[in-house]
Structure formats: structure tokens, C-alpha cells
Amino acid sequence: MKTTAPLTERTSWKSLQVHFSKIQGVHLRDLFSKDPQRGRVFGIEAEGIYLDYSKNRIDHETLKHLFALADESELRPAIEAMFRGDAINITENRAVLHTALRAPRDARIELGGRNVVPDVHEVLDQMSGFCDRLRSRQWKGHTGKSIVNIVNIGIGGSDLGPVMAYEALRNYSDRSLNFLFISNVDGTDFSEAVEGLDPAETLFIVASKTFTTQETMTNAQTAKDWLLHGLGAGQEAVAKHFVAVSTNATKVSEFGIDTANMFGFWDWVGGRYSMDSAIGLSTMIAIGPENFHAMLQGFRQMDEHFRTAPWQSNIPVLMALLGIWYNNFFQASSIAVLPYDQYLKRFPAYLQQLTMESNGKRVTLAGNHVNYDTGAVYWGEPGTNGQHSFYQLIHQGTRLIPCDFIAFCHSLNPVGRHHDLLMANVFAQAEALAFGKTLDEVRKEGTPEWLAPHREFDGNRPSNVLLLERLTPGSLGKLVALYEHIVFTQGVIWNLDSFDQWGVELGKVLAQRIVPELESPEALELNHDSSTNALIERYRATRKKG
Ligand code: F6P
């Protein structure tokens, strides 16, 4: 348990408060004109990622206080504790070792006296063997046909990582295979995914850490019925068309999947930190084992950077501290993540679970209510689409929304002028947000006085620009690990358990109670509040009418 002072009583926190009152009114225009080199001074490069953080409302003194906050929050020992495998997920009494998932074969990471690295590589090898058989069409379905449709069934971390990685790395994928992802318990998700698929050519990956999640188990059962009905076969067909990714061998075999076709992982891998575990099986099938290992290498490079770089050149730590600066001092409640790469279209959705399920907490490790804001709302869309949708609010609205722009110097689809146009938009947006357009400038353009306020951009809206060479499996691994470590750093400073998710429990339990009340042929006595009772009654009555 932490012995550091409560966050708002730390010396560095108090210094930040005093400093904030001085810098709050300073415009980025002034910061830039005072230091002509600012655009370079506040830029760092590590592991092939260039971070331009010059367009943040900070100066050298801000950074000094933020680094002091990291020290006073004992970030360095906390990082070591995570990498070492301490049970830092205290409410579940578990280690948090997703970093072991990308450890090299010869590394040694002991948990309870056992080196977990050989276990990790055994599963990776099992995945590679399976992928090779599938990709070379040696793995046949029940009727002898080759598998060409891979359907991942999972939700939360067992879906968002796989689907994000598949979309992100589509350029590296085997285009002769179709990949589909079913997550929602809404039957539409299932029906639309399997529409037109031949069961004889379809493989389902049931991905669930617990193998008890209602949505996943419902979809898996429906998939089994669909498959067996479509093939006109019995249980014996399951073995060739279903594999499982789980920590729960008992439940996997109860479902009817041979545990020989199960790819395991461990309770020390959180769902939202699992895309580089066996949960990434669909990713590996899509891009092949070699590319998957290149992705792991990217993760590993960012891990090492996070673990060893001093704060001033540590990209995840810098970004995490900037996030705290806006969240807790400027009262910014959200962060927009804006990838200027269509392949990253699911990246913001992926980050939503990673960030919000991790740091959407209101009690400290000791169980005390916090007296400061914690996790921000993460959201976003790829550029340039977002520019024609919500950017208006970011530029001229009343709220401060710090932005992370993510862009690549080389396009994977270098068509005509597209990439230069795309990149011109990234740079222009960050520039417009920071510097805006003053009333004077608007007037000088001949804008009538009544219209001028509408056309003024106050600017001073902060952003980071992350610039990478090109989107590769390795760079995706680095980006994901970067955000994992931002979340970790912020959780340490806010003194939270970033690795549990008790907030999702209540809704699950209540839904279980309501299911029979909806399904029962006879109306059951309802003992909810009057609103819930009325909704249930209306639903039943409407269903009855047909
Ligand atoms: O949303 C709650 C949650 O437990 C997530 O943390 C997890 O990623 C998801 O459900 C799916 O869980 P499982 O992999 O056990 O099906």
C-alpha cells in the first residue's frame, strides 16, 4: 500500500496549483513567440516515434513540477513493481504482467517461483503452428473443405483488440481469408456476420478469458447451432470448426471444444491488455506469425523505453503527465484521439476500453474517495472525417479538449496526392487549434463587424502530434504499449487500481435478474423501481401483440 501523501497534499501538486494560476492565461502564441525554437525543444524521438508536444500549454517550469509529481508519486518503483510481477491489482490480488507477453524467449520473469516466459512462448508456438496449418489450408473443416472464414466471437478486450489490430494491419493480412468479429448480444451482430458464409468453410474462435461472459457464450452457442444445422452434422463437427482462447479449460470443454484446440493465457493478463496474448489469435492468422512477432517486438521496445528512459524523454510518461495537467488543472474532461490513418479507424474504440475501464475509478487503492478528477473520456475518429463532424466544437466550443494526432510519413496506399493532402490536414489542424485566428486578423480580411466574432478562433487549444514512419505491425505494437503505459502512469498518480473493473458488475447482475422476467410465459411479480417495472411491462405487452 502506498505511503506517499494523498495526491492533493503532495508538494509538487501544490506547486502545480500555484504555477497553474500563472500560466493559465498565457497563450500558445506568446509561448511560441518567446522561444523561436519551441517547436523543436518540446519534441522528442524514441523507438521510431516522434512526439511534438510543443503545442501544449506548458513551459519548462510546468515540466519540472510534473516530473516532481511523478517522483513524489513513486512512479519509478511502481513501474518496477509492475514489470516484476507484484500483485498490483490489489482488489483481485493479481499480478499485472502483460509486459511478459512480449518478453523475449530467453527472458526470465518469475511469478510465485515460476518463470512465466516459457509458458508465454509455448502458447505463441502453439498459435504459430495452428496459423501455419490454417493459412496453408492443411486444416480442413468437417466436410474436408478448407477454412476461409475466421469468425472471432468475444467482447470487450476479447473483441476490441482483435478487431482493432485486424483493421490496423489489414494491409499485411492474407486477403484470401475473411475475418469477421461478433461481439454484441444483439442477434443482428451474429446474423449479419454469418450472412452468406458457408459453414463448411468457417472457423469460430471463441475468445473469452473467463468463458462465462453472457454475450460471448450466447453468441458461441448460436454459432454452434448454426454450424451443426448448416452442416447437418452432430457434435463431432465442432472440433474442426471451433477453437477457444481462454484461461478456463473446464468451461471450454463443457462447451464441447477439445482443450487440444484451446489457446491459454493467464489471470495476470487483464482483458483490455490481452491483444498480444492468445486473444490475438485472429490477428496472427490474418498477418502470419512473423508479423505477429514483429508486433510483439514493437510492444517490447516501448516497454523498455518506458522502463528506462528519464522522464523528460519518456514518451508515455510525458503524455500521461500532460493528460493529468489538463484533467486536473484545466478541468478538461475528455481527450480526442485522432488518427490520420484509415487503418486505425477502430483505435479510438480500442482506447476507450483501455483507458476508461482502467482509470474510470473514484476510490484510491486504500478505498478512500478521491477529491480530484480521474480518468478522462477518450473518444475520436480518423482524420479527415472528424474535421467535417465534431472538430467545430474542438476549435470554437466552450470546452477544452486536448487532442492526440497520430500520423505516418509514408502511406501504405500511396495513391496520387492523397497522402500529402492528408498530412497537410494533420499539421493544419494542430496549427489552427494552437494559434487560432484573432479578431484583428478576421477584420483585416474585410469581414463585417457583426460576422467577425463568429469567424474568430481563440486558439490556445492544446495537442500532441505523434509522427511515425509508417504503419507496420511493429509500430502498432509501440502505439498500443504507449497508451497502456500512459494509463498505468496516470493510475499511479491518481492512486487507483487500474486493473480491476468492478463498475461493470452491477449491470450484469441486474440483467441476469431481468432475463426471466422477460422470457417467462407467465408475467412474474416485478420488484424493481416503478420505471424499470413499467418498461418491462410495456416490452412484454408489445411482444405479446407480435
Ligand atoms: O467488460 C467487462 C469485461 O470483464 C472486460 O474487462 C473484458 O475484456 C470483457 O468483459 C470480456 O471478458 P471475457 O474475456 O472474460 O469474456
Decide if 388 is catalytic: yes
Q: What's the 217 CA to ligand 1 centre distance in angstroms?
A: 12
Inform me whether the pLDDT recorded for 387 exceeds 80.
yes
Q: Which atom of ligand 1 is nearest to the CA of 271?
A: 8
CA distance 306 to 401: 26
Inform me whether the pLDDT recorded for 4 exceeds 90.
no
Within 6 A (CB) of ligand 1 lie 155-158, 208-210, 213, 216, 271-272, 357, 501, 504
In the set 2, 14, 229, 508, the catalytic residue is 508
**Contact (CB, 8 A) for 334 and 379:** yes
Q: In the prediction, which pLDDT does 3 show?
A: 64
Residue 88's alpha-carbon distances to 33, 69, 492, in angstroms, are 45, 20, 10
Q: Residues 97-118: pLDDT tens digits?
A: 999 999 999 999 999 999 999 9
Inform me whether the pLDDT recorded for 28 exceeds 90.
yes
Q: What's the 209 CA to ligand 1 centre distance in angstroms?
A: 7
Q: Residues 41-67: pLDDT tens digits?
A: 999 999 999 999 999 999 999 999 999
CA distance 107 to 98: 14
Residue 132's alpha-carbon distances to 286, 426, 473, in angstroms, are 11, 39, 18
Q: What's the 213 CA to ligand 1 centre distance in angstroms?
A: 7
Q: In the prediction, which pLDDT does 358 show?
A: 98
3-class secondary structure, 478: helix
Q: Which atom of ligand 1 is nearest to the CA of 215?
A: 16
User: Could you tell me the three cell numbers for 105?
Assistant: 524467449
Residue nearest to atom 16 of ligand 1 (CA): 208
pTM equals 0.97
The residue type at 407:
A
Q: In the prediction, which pLDDT does 2 show?
A: 52
Q: Is 450 exposed, middle or buried (0-12, 13-18, 19+ CB in 10 A)?
A: exposed
**Contact (CB, 8 A) for 217 and 211:** yes
Q: Which atom of ligand 1 is nearest to the CA of 154?
A: 16
* Range 510-532 burial, b when 16+ CB lie within 10 A, else e: eeeebeebeeeeeeeebeeeeee
Q: In the prediction, which pLDDT does 270 show?
A: 98
Q: Residues 117-143: pLDDT tens digits?
A: 999 999 999 999 999 999 999 999 999
Mean pLDDT across the chain: 97
Match 484510491 to its residue by C-alpha cell: 364
Decide if 508 is catalytic: yes
Q: Which residues contact 167 (CB under 8 A, 6 or more apart)?
A: 343, 344, 345, 346
In the set 357, 381, 456, 517, the catalytic residue is 357
Inform me whether the pLDDT recorded for 21 exceeds 70.
yes
Q: What's the 106 CA to ligand 1 centre distance in angstroms?
A: 31
Q: Which residues contact 508 (CB under 8 A, 6 or more apart)?
A: 214
Q: In the prediction, which pLDDT does 154 show?
A: 98
